[in-house]
Homo-oligomer: A and B are copies of this chain.
Amino acid sequence: MPDFHRSIPEGDDKERLVCRDCGFIAYENPKLIVGSVVSEGERVLLCRRAINPRRGFWTLPAGFLEMAETAEEGARREAWEEAQARIAIEGLLAVFSIARIGQVQLIFRAGFAAPGFAAGPESEEVALFDWAEIPWAEIAFPSVHWALRAWRAAAGRPLGAPASNPPEDARGTVPLPQGSGL
- Which chain A residues have a beta carbon within 8 Å of chain B's beta carbons? 1-2, 14, 19, 22-24, 26, 28-32, 64-73, 91-92, 95, 97, 99-100, 102, 104, 106, 158-162, 164-165, 170-172
A102 to B71 Cα, complex, angstroms? 10
Considering the complex of A and B, which 6 residue pairs feature the smallest CB-CB distances, nearest first? A70-B97, A67-B102, A159-B161, A91-B161, A30-B65, A71-B97
Give the copy number.
2
On chain B, the residues within 8 Å of A19 by CB distance are 2
Main secondary structure of the interface of A (DSSP, over half): loop
On chain B, the residues within 8 Å of A71 by CB distance are 95, 97, 104
Q: How far in angstroms is the closest Cβ of chain B from A90?
A: 9
A29 to B92 Cα, complex, angstroms? 21
Q: How far in angstroms is the closest Cβ of chain B from A136?
A: 25
26 contacts between A and B (CB under 8 A): A1-B23, A2-B19, A29-B32, A29-B64, A29-B65, A29-B66, A29-B67, A30-B66, A32-B32, A65-B104, A67-B102, A69-B99, A70-B99, A70-B170, A70-B171, A71-B95, A71-B97, A72-B97, A73-B97, A92-B162, A92-B164, A95-B95, A104-B106, A158-B161, A159-B161, A160-B160
